Amino acid sequence: MTLTAGGSFSDKVNFIWSVADLLRGDFKPHEYGRVILPFVVVRRLDCVLSDTKRAVRTKAAQLEGRIDDPERVLCAVAGADFYNTSPLDFGGLTADAANILGNLQGYIGGFSPGARDVIDKFRFDEQIIRLAGAGLLYQVVAKFADINLHPDVVGEPEMGYIYEELIRRFSEQSNETAGEHFTPREVIRLMVDLLLSEDDRLLRDKGVVKTLFDPACGTGGMLAVAEDRMRELNPDGHLEVHGQELRQLGTRLVTGPFGTILAASEYIDNGVPIINPSHIDRFGSLKPDPSISLSPATAARLHRHTLRLDDLVIGRKGEVGRAALIGRAADGWICGSDSIAVRCDPTKLLPGFLALALSSNYYRQQLAAHSGAATLMNVNEPTLLSLQIPDVSVERQSAIRRTVESSLRHQREALRVLCSQIGLLRERRQALITAAVTGELEVA
């Protein structure tokens, strides 16, 4: 079946969804989205650029060796914020089944840096290598070559609905709540109208520039609708949009085992330690209780909650922002029921940087505001995932951490000296009082 033009919304979604039939057996149901969604994005980009592809390649050849960065020129020729200089497209890829993997990798490499970055976020290369190993890559590429996602055939609003409907279906396959992944466009439009309605200057001034940030942007639906609505209300204004997801930083969260999984009667003395908020001091050091530990067999049963080197364990209840990094000595300990274990992708988010952020007043206030309790904090995984963590390079994160930790060491040393001096003063005071009472010290 080919779907090159026409067809209803359901026809297009069902056609793309049918790729899952090819994956069944070699991929698990919850993995279908990792393959299909990036292919939807790449095929859409391929169709968007089809009208200007020849002109872009011609201009790229003319500019080769003449300017260092031709991106702005090539984007202008492409009529988009991205381009592709590869001689191939999806039609060309299907013409050479024997070299499909190398050709597809070369085609992806022909995209402009911004587009490649989007594709890389899907770990697309991992998926196509796996597809090639299963002998499915050519079939999947050929399937997507049979659907026309050109903007003249599938407009922007419909493309957004198709993508979000696919996300909803994949969420159901993974037993997740669809609402965690997308919001209906009608609801987004209402939210944007409410957001913009109070800003008179944004709605009337010519040349006004405003910035909109969505800290939980998901598929970017709110940002896209906000841009469209801005153009409708004030064609002479400009809205700079920025979005971020903590999930983009490669963060994995696991809450400790509850009572239905781990009973208090299973605690032993001097076993594998369990880490709860009471075992984390205010300096981020671990102080386990030997009487609250597990046998090796019980710890093995709870392997999903095992803490590993460089994990971050965060108190789920109690003092806001209490967290500790897992060092070598604590590798293999167990995350307790009142804690959440966070595992970061160190190429995107350093756990030490996240620990510093959580200990700051700014993030303590954010956590407290979302904890739902006036006295005892109760943080959950969605609350942590909603935090707006600055997306800076790991080099910058490391530099910030070194600077802050150096300052903290000086503060702790100063505090130690002060406490020591206070102790000496108290001893002197007590000695003077004793001497005065016993008559050893004559008091005028």
Query: How far is the C-alpha of 199 from the C-alpha of 76, rounded, in Å?
Result: 32
pLDDT at 174: 58
Band of pLDDT at residue 216, cut at 50, 70 and 90: low
Band of pLDDT at residue 321, cut at 50, 70 and 90: low
String of DSSP letters for 95-161: T-GGGHHHHHHHHHHTB-HHHHHHHHHTTHHHHHHHHHHTT-HHHHHHHHHTB---TTTS-HHHHHH
For the residues 44-67, what does the mean pLDDT come to?
93
Band of pLDDT at residue 443, cut at 50, 70 and 90: low
Same structural domain, 24 and 79: yes
Asked whether the predicted pLDDT for residue 177 surpasses 60, the reply is no
349 in Cβ contact with 311 (< 8 Å): no
Domain assignment of residue 347, given as a range: 252-385
Q: Is residue 164 part of a domain?
A: yes
Structure tokens, 291:
């009487």
Which range has the top average pLDDT, 73-77, 298-302, 374-378? 73-77
∠ CA(182), CA(188), CA(193), 5° rounding? 165
Same structural domain, 208 and 264: no
Query: How far is the C-alpha of 189 from the C-alpha of 186, rounded, in Å?
Result: 5
* Overall domain count for the chain: 4
Q: Is residue 3 part of a domain?
A: no
Q: Is residue 328 part of a domain?
A: yes
Q: Tell me the torsion sign for CA atoms 208, 214, 215, 218.
A: negative
* Phi/psi at 90 (5° precision): -65, -35
Final residue before a domain boundary, out of 334, 360, 385: 385
DSSP state of 179: G
Same structural domain, 226 and 305: no
Asked whether the predicted pLDDT for residue 15 surpasses 50, the reply is yes
Query: How far is the C-alpha of 322 from the C-alpha of 340, rounded, in Å?
Result: 11
For the residues 4-30, what does the mean pLDDT come to?
85
Same structural domain, 375 and 402: no
Q: Is residue 140 part of a domain?
A: yes
The average confidence (pLDDT) of the chain is 83
* Phi/psi at 30 (5° precision): -75, -10
For the residues 97-113, what does the mean pLDDT come to?
92
pLDDT at 274: 92
The set of residues, in sequence order, having a beta carbon less than 8 Å from that of 19 and lying 6+ positions away, is: 32, 35, 36, 39, 140, 143, 144
* Phi/psi at 147 (5° precision): -115, 130
For 338-394, write each residue's pLDDT tens digit.
Answer: 888 888 888 888 888 888 888 888 777 777 776 655 445 677 776 777 677 776 778
Asked whether the predicted pLDDT for residue 317 surpasses 80, the reply is no
Asked whether the predicted pLDDT for residue 47 surpasses 90, the reply is yes
Query: How far is the C-alpha of 51 from the C-alpha of 47, rounded, in Å?
Result: 8
Same structural domain, 342 and 403: no
Asked whether the predicted pLDDT for residue 184 surpasses 90, the reply is no
For the residues 203-216, what does the mean pLDDT come to?
76
pLDDT at 376: 54
Q: Is residue 300 part of a domain?
A: yes
For the residues 117-146, what does the mean pLDDT come to?
91
Asked whether the predicted pLDDT for residue 134 surpasses 90, the reply is yes
The candidate with the shortest Cα–Cα distance to 41, out of 152, 188, 182, 144, is 144
The candidate with the shortest Cα–Cα distance to 396, out of 437, 357, 442, 366, is 357
Same structural domain, 321 and 427: no
pLDDT at 5: 53
pLDDT at 244: 61
Same structural domain, 280 and 412: no
∠ CA(432), CA(436), CA(438), 5° rounding? 115
Q: What is the CATH number of the domain that holds 267?
A: 3.90.220.20
* Amino acid identity, position 111: F
Final residue before a domain boundary, out of 385, 404, 433: 385
pLDDT at 374: 46
- Give the helix ranges, DSSP H, for 184-220: 185-197, 200-204
The set of residues, in sequence order, having a beta carbon less than 8 Å from that of 299 and lying 6+ positions away, is: 271, 272, 306, 332, 334
Q: Is residue 313 part of a domain?
A: yes
Q: Is residue 418 part of a domain?
A: yes
* Phi/psi at 432 (5° precision): -65, -45
Same structural domain, 34 and 107: yes
Same structural domain, 397 and 353: no
Least confident of 76-85, 100-109, 311-320: 311-320
Asked whether the predicted pLDDT for residue 245 surpasses 80, the reply is no
65 in Cβ contact with 91 (< 8 Å): no
The candidate with the shortest Cα–Cα distance to 287, out of 252, 329, 259, is 329
Same structural domain, 207 and 323: no
The candidate with the shortest Cα–Cα distance to 90, out of 77, 109, 103, 74, is 103
Same structural domain, 367 and 423: no
For 248-270, write each residue's pLDDT tens digit.
Answer: 455 667 777 766 678 888 899 99
pLDDT at 3: 54
Band of pLDDT at residue 178, cut at 50, 70 and 90: very low
CA torsion, points 15, 18, 22, 27, in degrees to nearest 10?
130
Same structural domain, 71 and 34: yes
DSSP state of 313: E
Asked whether the predicted pLDDT for residue 141 surpasses 70, the reply is yes
The candidate with the shortest Cα–Cα distance to 344, out of 366, 311, 321, 372, is 311
Final residue before a domain boundary, out of 344, 361, 385: 385
Q: Is residue 66 part of a domain?
A: yes
